[in-house]
């Protein structure tokens, strides 16, 4: 494996599978199986999950709800997803720890950087829940921040598409895929990878990003093996 410590960013929507809402247990089991293979090969795995399958603060704000209140509700949605993934991983016999940015001692440990790193060193999967703990920050920003804090080698952003294209491949059948792209090119071409706060954090801290299709079984291992051209690498 070309990376020793990774942070895997999953969207909340990816957990829906074929459903319109909520959590698809088959999809969870698939993710758990793939993550287990990584851990077995000696990779240290940290995970951040979004909450869009349950609640989105920004959409609630558009409907008239207070943005701060909505964002906190979104953070709690990420904790529900994190607990579901933790449960799926433990069913697959993977030791897992859930650390949240908002204290909720009955169900998770509070986020403490040294503790998180120690869990990773011991071979446990670490899931970071509740985003950054602050409103106005996305889970992409939480993923970038946590990856930098734990000194991960790369962020793997699992999506529905198999990389970064020059236009939306779901709308444009002639869209061209990039195998590699630099941070400056992403800025210049206005490519949509993650929000600007998250992206700039990665750029300033020289943290590479790989965007790939997480829904295709086996892709996660292929990305880390570096043998096939899976996804798009954003580098310096």
Task: Give the CATH number, domain containing residue 20.
Answer: 3.40.1160.10
Q: What is the mean pLDDT of residues 49-62?
A: 89
Q: Of the candidates 194, 197, 202, 190, which has an alpha carbon nearest to the alpha carbon of residue 236?
A: 202
Q: In this prediction, what percent of the chain has a pLDDT beyond 70?
A: 100
Q: How many domains does the chain contain in total?
A: 1
Q: What is the mean pLDDT of residues 70-92?
A: 97
Whether residue 227 is predicted with pLDDT greater than 80 in this model: the reply is no
Q: Which residue has the higher pLDDT, 63 or 84?
A: 84
Q: How confident is the model at residue 58 (pLDDT cuts 50, 70, 90)?
A: confident
Phi and psi dihedrals of 200, rounded to 5?
-65, -35
Model pLDDT, residue 184? 94
Model pLDDT, residue 44? 98
Q: In this prediction, what percent of the chain has a pLDDT beyond 90?
A: 85
**CB atoms < 10 A from the CB of 182, how many?**
14
pTM value is 0.95
For residues 187 and 167, what is the distance between their CA atoms, to the nearest angstrom? 14
The domain of 208 spans: 5-235
Model pLDDT, residue 55? 93
Model pLDDT, residue 61? 81
Estimate to the nearest angstrom the gap between the alpha carbon of 135 and the chain centroid: 18
Whether residue 124 is predicted with pLDDT greater than 90 in this model: the reply is yes
Model pLDDT, residue 196? 94
Model pLDDT, residue 169? 84
Q: Which residue has the higher pLDDT, 157 or 62?
A: 157
Q: CB–CB of 54/77 below 8 Å? A: yes
Q: Residues 48, 159, 110, CA angle at the centre, nearest 5°?
A: 5
Task: Give the distance between the most distant pair of CA atoms in the chain.
Answer: 51
Model pLDDT, residue 173? 87
Q: Which residue has the higher pLDDT, 192 or 37?
A: 37
Please compute, for residue 152, the number of CA atoms within 13 A of its CA located in the half-sphere on the CB side.
Answer: 29
Look at strands 5-10 and 154-159 and give their pairing. parallel
Model pLDDT, residue 109? 98
pLDDT tens digits for range 129-153: 999 999 999 999 999 999 999 999 9
pLDDT tens digits for range 154-182: 999 999 889 999 888 888 889 999 999 99
For residues 105 and 21, what is the distance between their CA atoms, to the nearest angstrom? 28
Q: Of the candidates 223, 63, 56, which has an alpha carbon nearest to the alpha carbon of residue 154?
A: 223
Whether residue 236 is predicted with pLDDT greater than 90 in this model: the reply is no
Q: Of the candidates 153, 151, 160, 138, which has an alpha carbon nearest to the alpha carbon of residue 70?
A: 138
What mean pLDDT is reported for the chain? Answer: 94
Model pLDDT, residue 63? 85
Q: Which residue has the higher pLDDT, 59 or 200?
A: 200
């Amino acid at each position: 494996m070309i990376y020793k410590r990774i942070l895997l960013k999953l969207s909340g929507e990816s957990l829906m599978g074929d459903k319109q809402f909520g959590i698809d247990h088959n999809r969870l089991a698939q993710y758990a199986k793939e993550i287990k293979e990584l851990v077995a090969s000696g990779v240290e795995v940290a995970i951040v999950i979004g909450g869009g399958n349950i609640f989105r603060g920004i959409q609630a704000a558009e409907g008239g709800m207070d943005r701060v209140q909505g964002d906190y509700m979104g953070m709690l949605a990420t904790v529900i997803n994190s607990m579901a993934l933790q449960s799926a991983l433990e069913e697959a016999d993977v030791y897992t720890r859930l650390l949240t940015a908002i204290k909720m001692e009955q169900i998770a440990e509070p986020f403490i950087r040294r503790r998180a790193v120690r869990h990773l060193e011991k071979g446990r999967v670490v899931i970071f829940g509740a985003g950054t703990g602050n409103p106005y920050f996305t889970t992409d920003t939480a993923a970038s921040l946590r990856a930098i804090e734990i000194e991960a080698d790369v962020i793997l952003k699992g999506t529905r598409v198999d990389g970064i294209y020059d236009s939306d491949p779901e709308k444009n059948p002639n869209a061209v895929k990039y195998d590699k792209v630099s941070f400056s090119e992403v800025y210049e071409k206005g490519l949509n990878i993650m929000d600007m706060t998250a992206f700039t954090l990665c750029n300033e801290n020289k943290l590479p990003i790989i965007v790939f299709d997480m829904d295709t079984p086996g892709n996660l291992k292929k990305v880390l093996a570096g043998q096939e051209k899976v996804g798009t690498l954003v580098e310096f």
